[in-house]
Each structure stands twice: as structure tokens, then as C-alpha cells.
């Protein structure tokens, strides 16, 4: 691990003249080379579990753009599958899972430490990447946060309002808490194994954190991420952690200290000036260009990119989108964004 890597320097609290840059979902369907490799794999899950091909799609945006970090190509729902849930993808509709809503269904899940044989191809992907990435490129591992993963396991699919998870939380707190506990334990074990395989940074994605209201936000978004972060840092001293409680709004304030994360990723629902004044005071921040600019491009993309860089130049900052790049994005707009950040 090179301490000169710009991502690691920013995560350590250094304010850099040019922020390092990577992009959520940077290996994805907007790239023709990704689509070709996915076709070779046969389907999405086969791609996730084919270590050579998963490493290849992780490397593709690094070769094309020279991002400062590569993020492991995998999916947050591989952990539920490793725990024993059925998982499949419906073309054009997304993931489907067998549901966990009763004590009997919860009891049938595997223990958290029994996930590794199933997930061994993911660790092999990390191992391949740790050897093949350019020496200046940081390797990021990741997992979904327990609340977000639980919403899929309870509903059996993505939902607009996470209603089934909220309902189970209200109607059967024992089963809900038991599921959260199992996911939390498995996530610690999974991310620890990624670090052992070569991940230099890990990121926890709580994509649906914003739907938690009142005390539930702290109890079911912040505290599980804090527990995961603490466990990883105890086992792997010095490992940087990025936390992303998407949709947190004003609750981003104090998130560094509450979670213990080295960096808080912010979505595009908050302004960069506000982030500088209220969140960046706690440490490194990551974000937060709207993903739609990768579709529309033009002068607005340039001006918005410059505005964010300027607003966050007074502290440690990793430039990124406020959420993942979408399949309809133009690859040329990605290059324009990078050139703008780097002053080209």
C-alpha cells in the first residue's frame, strides 16, 4: 500500500490542490466495453462470481479514464445470497430475493461466518485487482449497510419507500432486529475478508438511510455503520472507511464522529457550500455532482463541477457523484468531468 496515493491522503485528512476522483458505479452499462464483458459472462450474477471477468470490468474505467480509485465490481445482494436467501435478476426489472419476514425464515439463514465459501470468488477478484491495478490507484471494497440490505431481504425486491421493511420494524421488532444483527455480523466478516484480500479502503453504502425517521435513523443507519467501522478498525488498524448515509440531509452533520468513518459521502440533495460549512469540518467528504450531468453534459456540467470543487477546496475532498452513474450516461461527459476537476 502506497501512502502517496491521493485517495489515501485525502482520507487521512489532507487538503489537496486537486481533489482525487472516482465515480460510483464507474464500471457499468454506460461503457460499451462493460456491456461486451457482461455479454461474455452471460448474466449479471455470473459476472459478479467470475473473478477474472469481474476484475476486468473493474479495470475498464481505470484504463479509459485514469480514475484515482477502482471500486470492486460486485453487488450488495451477494451477502443475502451467501446467508441463504435465493437471489435472481429479472431483465429490465432488477433483483428479486426470497423474503425474510418471520422467525422461521430468519432461523434458516446461515451463521454470519459461514458466508465465505460462497463469496470466495469476490475475494479472488480483490486479490487479482490488488496485483493488476496501477500502483497509484487505490482499491476500494464495499458492502451495503444493514438497513439497506434488510429492505431488500424483507420486500424481496427494491421498493419506492421501503414500506415492507418499515412495516416489519413496526409489527415484529424481534424478527427485524434479528435480521439486522445477522446482516451486521455478516457485513463485518465480509468486509474484513475483502481487506485481507487486498482492499485498501472500504465503503458502506446505506442507500435508503433517508427513509428512516426520528430515532430510527440513529438506531438503524448510524449505529450499525458505527459498529461495522469500529470492528474493522479494531481488526485492521489504519483501514480507512467511507460511509454513505444517502438522503440524510441535515443529519449528515456529526456523521463522521457518530460513525467513526474517515470520510462521509454526501448525495446531491445537499449543497456543496453547506457541506463545507457543516460536514467537512468533521473530516474528509466525498461527492456530490448530480448524476444527470453525466447524461446532459455541456457547460452546465463544467460549471457545476467547478462549483463543487471550489466550495470544498478548503478541506479534504474526494470528488464523486451524488449517486451512481446511470446507464444512459455519455462516456464523453465522464471525461469532461475529469478534465474539469483536474484543470485540463
Cis before 171 (ω within 30): no
**DSSP labels, 260-287:** T-SEEE--TTS-HHHHHHHTGGGSEEEE
**Which residue in 9, 38, 219, 342 is the catalytic one?**
38
- 64 is annotated as an active-site residue: no
Is 219 an annotated catalytic residue?
no
Long-range contacts of 155-163 (CB under 8 A, 24+ apart): 155/99, 156/96, 156/97, 156/98, 156/99, 157/93, 157/94, 157/95, 157/96, 157/97, 158/94, 158/95, 161/211, 162/208, 162/211
Q: Give the SS3 label for residue 98.
A: coil
Catalytic member of 29, 64, 307, 342: 29
Query: Active site residue: 30, 34, 49, 152, which one?
Result: 152
Q: Is 216 a catalytic residue?
A: no
Among candidate residues 75, 262, 267, 268, the one labeled active-site is 75
- Annotated catalytic, 25? yes
Q: Is 171 a catalytic residue?
A: no
Query: Any bridge partners for residue 205, and if so which?
Result: 144, 244
Give the separation between CA 127 and CA 252, rounded to whole angstroms.
33
Helix (H) or strand (E) holding 71: strand 69-71
Query: Phi then psi for 231, rounded to 5 degrees?
Result: -65, -40
Q: Write out the catalytic residue numbers.
A: 25, 29, 38, 75, 152
Amino acid at each position: 500500500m502506497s501512502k502517496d496515493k491521493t485517495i489515501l491522503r485525502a482520507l487521512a485528512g489532507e487538503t489537496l490542490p486537486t481533489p482525487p476522483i472516482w465515480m460510483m458505479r464507474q464500471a457499468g452499462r454506460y461503457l460499451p466495453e462493460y456491456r461486451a464483458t457482461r455479454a461474455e459472462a452471460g448474466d449479471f450474477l455470473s459476472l459478479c462470481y467470475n473473478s477474472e471477468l469481474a476484475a476486468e470490468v473493474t479495470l475498464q474505467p481505470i484504463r479509459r479514464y485514469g480514475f484515482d480509485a477502482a471500486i470492486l465490481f460486485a453487488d450488495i445482494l451477494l451477502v443475502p445470497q451467501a446467508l441463504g436467501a435465493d437471489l435472481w435478476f429479472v431483465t429490465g426489472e432488477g433483483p428479486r430475493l426470497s423474503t425474510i419476514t418471520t422467525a422461521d425464515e430468519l432461523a434458516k439463514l446461515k451463521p454470519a461466518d459461514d458466508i465465505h465459501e460462497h463469496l470466495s470468488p469476490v475475494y479472488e477478484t480483490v486479490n487479482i485487482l490488488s496485483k493488476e491495478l496501477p500502483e497509484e490507484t487505490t482499491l476500494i471494497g464495499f458492502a451495503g449497510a444493514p438497513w439497506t440490505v434488510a429492505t431488500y431481504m424483507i420486500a424481496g425486491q427494491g421498493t419506492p419507500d421501503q414500506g415492507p421493511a418499515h412495516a416489519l420494524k413496526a409489527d415484529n421488532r424481534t424478527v427485524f432486529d434479528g435480521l439486522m444483527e445477522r446482516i451486521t455480523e455478516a457485513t463485518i466478516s465480509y468486509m474484513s475478508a475483502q481487506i485481507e484480500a487486498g482492499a485498501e479502503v472500504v465503503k458502506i453504502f446505506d442507500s435508503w438511510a433517508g427513509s428512516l425517521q426520528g430515532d430510527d435513523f440513529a438506531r438503524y443507519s448510524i449505529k450499525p455503520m458505527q459498529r461495522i467501522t469500529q470492528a474493522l478498525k479494531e481488526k485492521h488498524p489504519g483501514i480507512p472507511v467511507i460511509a454513505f448515509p444517502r438522503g440524510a440531509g441535515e443529519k449528515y452533520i456529526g456523521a463522521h464522529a457518530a460513525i467513526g468513518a474517515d470520510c462521509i459521502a454526501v448525495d446531491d440533495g445537499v449543497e456543496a457550500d453547506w457541506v463545507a460549512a457543516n460536514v467537512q469540518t468533521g473530516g474528509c467528504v466525498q461527492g456530490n455532482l448530480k448524476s444527470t450531468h453525466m447524461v446532459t453534459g455541456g457547460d452546465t456540467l463544467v460549471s457545476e463541477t467547478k462549483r463543487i470543487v471550489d466550495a470544498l477546496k478548503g478541506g479534504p475532498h474526494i470528488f464523486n457523484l451524488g449517486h451512481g452513474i446511470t446507464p444512459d450516461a455519455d462516456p464523453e461527459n465522464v471525461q469532461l468531468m475529469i478534465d474539469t476537476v483536474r484543470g485540463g
